[in-house]
Amino acid sequence: MNICDKYKTELSAFLNVKKDAISLYWKGRVALYTALKSMGISKGDEVIIPAFTCVVVPNAIIYLGATPIYVDIEEQNLCTTKNLIEKKITHKTKCIVIQNMLGLSNEVDEIVLLAKKHGLYTIEDCTHGFGGKYNGLYNGLKSDCSFYSSQWNKPFSTGVGGILLVNNQNLKSQIELNNKNLSKPSNKSKLTLHLLILFRKYILKDWSYWFLLKLYRKLSMLGLVVGSSQKEEITGITIPNNYLISSSYVQAKFGLKELKQMHNKLSIRRENGLIYNEWMKKNNKYFIDEKYLDNHSFLKYPILVKDRDVFLTLAVKAKIQMGDWFISPLHPVKDNLSQWHLEKKNYPCAVKISQHILNLPSDVKNVNAILKFLNKNKAQIL
C-alpha cells in the first residue's frame, strides 16, 4: 500500500467511514470545488453559504459560474440557522454549505432536513472541525459531502491539504471522474512544503511567531513559498493557474504522524477551551453557551475586543499567539466585497463580529500566561 493509500485508510478509520469515501487534495478549497462540480453546480445556480467565511468558499462557487448567496450568522455560535437559510432558498438554489466555525456547529440536522425537503444538496465545511463531534457524530458525517482542511493552524496540519468525504453514494463516481482531471503538485511545491513544515516544527517559537507569520504571509502573496492563498484568490474572482491540484506524499507523510496524536490533541484543545470559557463567563465577557460545547473541538477560542489593533499590539508585546482570523465577513478580504456578491449592510451580525473578533490558541500546553494576559487586559475585552 502506498503512503497516500495508508493516509486514506487512517483517515477513514478515524472517522469510521469507508476508505473509498475519502479523496485527497492540495487544499481544502479544491475539495469544495470538486464537491460542487460533482453535484453539477454551474452557471445560473445558487449556493447558500454563511456571510462569515473565508473568501475561498465563494470563490469555488464563482469559479463554476454559480452565485454565492449569503446568510447572516448568530452572535452566540458564529453559525447560521435553519430559519435564516430557509428565507434565502429560491428555485435556483442547488446546495447549502453548512459551516463549522472554529469548531462550533449549529442546527446541522435541521439544515440537512430542510435541504432534503427542498431537494437540495448539502456540504459541510469542516475545515475547522476535524475530530469534533456534533449530536454524537463526528463533524462531516451528516451532509452529502464534507470537506476538511489540514492547512497551518487547522485541527491537524500538513502545511496545506484538503480532504473530501462523500456520504452520498450517488456522487461518488462523478467525484472519482473529476479527481482524474487534477494536476499533480510540482516537485518545487512539494519540496517547499516539506521544508516549511520542518521549519515550523523546529524554528517557530513564541518569540518569533509574529515576525515569521508576517514574513510568511508576504512571501506567499508574492508566490515565493507554498501559501495558504495565491494573490489572485484574494484580489479577484478568476480561477488561478495551479488551483486544481491533487495531494502528495508530503501531506500523507505528515498527516499520518499527526493523526496518531489527534485524540490527545483534541483533549488538550477541549480542556483549554473550557478553561477560557469559564474565565469569560466568570468575568462577564462574551462566552460560548454550554449547549454548544458537547464534544466541541475548540480549534480556537473566539474572543471579542473593543479595539482589535490595540489588543493585537498588546498580545504581540506579551508574546501571546493571538489569532486574527475573520476580520471581515470574507476573510481576509476587507473591502470591495461586491465582486463576491456580498454587501456588508445586509449582514449586520457578521459585520459586527468581524470588527471585534480575535482568537485564543487552544493547543498550548499551559494557558496560565494567556489567562494572566487576559486578566491584565480585561477592560479591553467585550
Ligand X SMILES: Cc1ncc(COP(=O)(O)O)c(C=O)c1O
> Among 8, 22, 29, 41, which residue sits at the site for ligand X (rule: CB under 6 A)?
29
**Cell numbers at residue 161, please?**
491539504
132 binds ligand X (CB under 6 A): no
Q: Output the residue with the shortest Cβ distance to ligand X.
A: 28
Which of the residues 64 through 103 are near ligand X (CB under 6 A)?
Answer: 99
56 binds ligand X (CB under 6 A): yes
How far apart CA 179 and CA 181 sit, in angstroms, is 5
Q: How, if at all, do strands 53-54 and 22-25 pair? A: unpaired
Output 57 or 304, the one with its CB closest to ligand X. Answer: 57
> Among 146, 151, 321, 362, which residue sits at the site for ligand X (rule: CB under 6 A)?
151
220 binds ligand X (CB under 6 A): no
359 binds ligand X (CB under 6 A): no
Residue type, 216: Y
328 binds ligand X (CB under 6 A): no
> Among 54, 102, 266, 381, which residue sits at the site for ligand X (rule: CB under 6 A)?
54
> Among 149, 247, 321, 362, which residue sits at the site for ligand X (rule: CB under 6 A)?
149
Q: How far is CA 90 from CA 40, 82, 135, 175, in A?
A: 17, 15, 29, 26
Selected range binding ligand X among 51-59, 294-302, 307-315, 346-354, rule: CB under 6 A: 51-59
Which of the residues 224 through 243 are near ligand X (CB under 6 A)?
Answer: 228
Output 333 or 374, the one with its CB closest to ligand X. Answer: 333
**Strand-pair partners of 323:** 359
28 binds ligand X (CB under 6 A): yes
Residue 162's CB: how many other CB atoms inside 10 A?
A: 28
127 binds ligand X (CB under 6 A): yes
Q: How, if at all, do strands 137-138 and 162-166 pair? A: unpaired
CB of 326 to ligand X, least distance (A): 8
Residue type, 35: A
Output 38 or 279, the one with its CB closest to ligand X. Answer: 38
Three-class DSSP category at 300 = strand
SS3 content of the chain, % helix, strand, coil (to 5): 45, 15, 40
How far apart CA 173 and CA 194 sit, in angstroms, is 32
How far apart CA 267 and CA 262 sit, in angstroms, is 9
Output 149 or 192, the one with its CB closest to ligand X. Answer: 149
Contacts with ligand X by CB under 6 A: the residue count is 14
Pair 324, 47: CB distance under 8 Å: no
Output 219 or 371, the one with its CB closest to ligand X. Answer: 219
> Among 11, 15, 22, 27, which residue sits at the site for ligand X (rule: CB under 6 A)?
27
CB of 157 to ligand X, least distance (A): 10
CB of 224 to ligand X, least distance (A): 18
Pair 267, 360: CB distance under 8 Å: no
Q: Which residue has cell 482542511? A: 149
Output 93 or 127, the one with its CB closest to ligand X. Answer: 127
124 binds ligand X (CB under 6 A): no
Pair 341, 51: CB distance under 8 Å: no
Selected range binding ligand X among 41-49, 54-62, 289-297, 341-349, rule: CB under 6 A: 54-62
Helices (H), the chain: 3-15, 28-38, 56-63, 82-86, 108-117, 172-180, 187-202, 209-221, 231-235, 249-260, 262-282, 308-317, 348-356, 368-376
CB of 378 to ligand X, least distance (A): 29
> Among 57, 171, 234, 357, which residue sits at the site for ligand X (rule: CB under 6 A)?
57
Name the site residues for ligand X (rule: CB under 6 A): 27-29, 53-54, 56-57, 99, 125, 127, 149, 151, 162, 228
